[in-house]
Structure 1
Amino acid sequence: MKNNQRLVALDVMRGLTIAGMILVNTPETWSYVYAPLQHARWNGLTPTDVIFPFFLFMMGVSMYISLKKCSFHLSSHLLMKIIRRSLILFLIGTAIYALATFLGTLRDACRQPGFEGNPWKEAFASLPGTRIPGVLQRLGVCYGIGSIIVLTCRHRYIPHLAGGILAGYFLILLFGNGFVHSPENILSVVDRTLFGDNMINDGGIDPEGALSTLPSIAQVLIGFCIGKICIETPDMREKLNKIFLYGSLMLIVGWLFSYGCPLNKRVWTPSFVLVTCGFACLLLGILIWYIDLRKVYKQTWTFEVFGVNPLFCYVLSEVLAILVDYLPLHSATLHERFYSGFLSNCFGDNEWTSFLYAFSLLCSVWLIGVLLYKKKIYIKI
């Protein structure tokens, strides 16, 4: 039996989410991807679309657990710690994009026939164009703002605050063409103004854009409320009843709301927040029932490997994918050698080989994670 069993379910859920993110982010080619591993093109929901929202929800749950240790008292020391963590998350995310920009430009310059300039100079000159919006960047912003909110606001008002944020955001979308996929969408207008056209993905509607960070903060606050239930409700059956009840309510309300406010990850619509929080809540409840109530641990340690070092495993997967894609500079990359020289020769070019490539990277990260897990090394910021 393990100490602090309530954390095990959260670690396993984080591990499942990290594993899903690696599979989604690192296919051999985007031309061949199984449908469940693709994002919805616009309105709609796929299994892939719930991964990032799950991270935000779990951040809220973890926030309650960690800040409870200081009795939710905002001291100057704690404030500096929150700001430091937020900045580190933001800078790590930016550094990952900078590495991809640098190595991509360097490789292209080295391979360009008749290139007479200095490839290294060209690569350094490309760094100012590094993309700013990103997954870790949004996590950093949401962590910082969410932490300050829960430390300065009475907890009984937090559900109302989360609902108010979602309602206000809905009005912004309603009066700002927020539901249309066009440059006139207010999300696109704000992102182009802040970041410029060259840093925006998905045709101008960036899934990690500035304005859509508002409902992401609400997602963290909802997770915080569920975290309070997990910690403050001593009776296991009562705890599970509450988690399943609130999860089901959010899922049903979000689904009904989607008839007037479509489910859309790029826009991060309020209905999308409610539905994904509902799914996250139900999954967490199932894991708590399976791990804490049935006392089953051995079957879940595979995902716990990712869950105890989530940031390290995610960053490692991104860096490995970048290095494999761009190195060596002059000859065939490791990506090309492994895929063209082995996978495609054995299985051809299709969704299965693209999945095997992503799965091989997932296993590589897992093996490194196992070493840390066995040695009880937990890398935190």
Structure 2
Amino acid sequence: MITVNNPGSWSYMYAPLEHAEWNGLTPTDLVYPFFMCVMGMCIYIAMRKFDFTCNRATVMKILKRMVLIYLVGLAIGWFSKFCHRLNNPLSGADFFAQLWYTIWSFDTIRLTGVLARLAVCYGATALLAITVRHKHLPYIAGALLLGYFGLLMWGNGFAYDETNILSIVDRAVLTTKHMYLDNGIDPEGLLSTLPAIAHTLLGFLIGGLLFRKSDANVEHLDTPTHITLTKVVPLFVVGTSLLFVGYLLSYGCPINKKVWSPTYVLVTCGLASMLLALLTWVIDVKGKKKWSVFFEVFGVNPLFLFVVSDFFAIVFGAFTFPVGDKQMNVIGYIYTQMLSPIFGQYGGSLVYSLLFIALNWVIGYQLYKRKIYIKL
């Protein structure tokens, strides 16, 4: 996610690193849903510690974490506006007017977003996990996807314009001042969060396949040494089934990230399950772990490093300085003056992304080697 969101130039990106313009799927479109699916698996692990019991303490912990994740996303949005307004002051304004203009941007701040969706999906899935019998969760996920598909069919949901029901609802509830607009559609809007909840529920159920203790007489059945084909094969079978059904249904319900279509949920959850089966076999069963250290650094502090990457991206992009007769930000300077002349326009853009990843990895590695895990 950090790589694809931070190119040297948005005008020069290799096709696999771009999102599908509307219908369809690219490798980049897999990153966010994979994270959603993994979050569902992590919810299974976390709630299992409490035996999936519903009590005041557990509910309050879930709600607190949900609110904190949402507020972090809101803070990132505010910080972005703050930096850009600080670098682009009002013309002719006095000190206090300028100060207010710079600090107060909540009248135009985006209320949705990546972290906002993660917060809602986390809260909904975790609460369902402790209040509903788990055998009913597949039906809830299915009902959400089926109901959402009906809504898309009824409300022109695959139109890439403001006639789309998703756009109509978001503009009516949020207003355009608090939305990200892509042809009138917010890709993390209100209604499209419903299938995202189903997405996280499927991740929760996939986590159950891997971590459920199927034998009460085995105390540590789900430790790496006991993960066998009885764990890996079901993951692969479920993943293959979801992938097949998703692509089969895509003839009537296009795979579309921006509306988070039901087929997008099925296909990406299927691929995530298959990838998890492969990684489980390679890392836990075969014990080939050394190559995964690079990814573990991001895996143990994902939210923190996501926020850090946003911080750097905002600062590097917001503040400008004179270069000859032009004003350039840090991103533009590194790309145009240092990387593009050596690697070309597309190559330079990719190299910038890789250097940006390396910067965040170095920070994450300092935490990793000290076993510091930052959680909400």
TM-score by length of 2: 0.91
2:368 matched residue in structure 1: 373
Residue 116 of structure 1, CA deviation: 4.7
* TM superposition shift of 1:108: 2.0
Deviation at 1:147, TM superposition (A): 0.7
Q: Residue 80 of structure 1 aligns with which residue?
A: 60
State the distance in 2 between where 1:148 and 1:22 align.
29
Q: Which residue of 2 aligns with 1:335?
A: 331
Q: What do the CA deviations read for 1:167-208 (whole angstroms, capped 9, x no partner)?
A: 111111111111111211110011101211232321112110
Residue identity matched to 1:135: V
Shift of 1:236: 1.3
- Identity rate of aligned residues, in percent? 44
Residue 117 of structure 1: how far off its partner (Å) = 4.5
Q: Which amino acid is 1:323 matched to?
A: V
Q: Is contact 2:9–2:335 with CA below 8 Å preserved after alignment?
A: no
Work out the CA distance in 1 between the residues paired with 2:159 and 2:142. Answer: 23
Cα deviations by residue, 1:317-364 (Å, 9 ceiling, x for unpaired): 01111111123578643223322331233334x111111111111000
> What is the rounded CA distance, in whole Å, between the counterparts of 2:139 and 2:93 in structure 1?
61
The one-letter code of the counterpart of 1:300 is: S
Q: 2:143 aligns with which of 142, 164, 169?
A: 164
Number of residue pairs the alignment of both structures matches: 357
| Cα distance between partner residues in 1 of 2:11 and 2:335 | 14
Structure 1 unaligned spans of 5+ = 1-20
For residue 73 of structure 2, what is the amino acid of its counterpart? G
Alignment partner, residue 311 of structure 2: 319
1:201 corresponds, among 166, 178, 181, to 181
CA distance in 2, matches of 1:147, 1:69: 13
Asked if the contact 1:106–1:329 (Cα under 8 Å) also holds between the matched residues in 2, the reply is no
Counterpart amino acid of 2:230?
Answer: E
- Distance in 1, matches of 2:100 and 2:40, equals 43
Equivalent residue, structure 2, for 1:272:
264
| Structure 2: unaligned runs, 5 residues or longer | 215-220, 222-226
Equivalent-residue separation in structure 1 for 2:192 and 2:235 (angstroms): 26
Contact 1:133–1:208 (8 Å) recurs in 2: yes
- Residue 99 of structure 1, aligned match among 76, 79, 83: 79
Report runs of 4+ in structure 1 exceeding 6 Å deviation.
Answer: none
Distance in structure 1 (CA, Å) of the matches to 2:54 and 2:284:
32
Separation in structure 2 between the aligned mates of residue 163 and residue 370 of structure 1, nearest angstrom: 40
- Greater RCO structure (CA 8 Å; 6+ sep): 1
Partner of 2:246: 254
Query: What SS does the aligned partner of 2:244 have?
Result: helix
* Alpha-carbon displacement from aligned partner over 1:137-160 (angstroms, at most 9, x marks no partner): 100001111111111110011111
User: Given the alignment of the two structures, is residue 364 of structure 1 paired with residue 344 of structure 2, yes or no?
Assistant: no
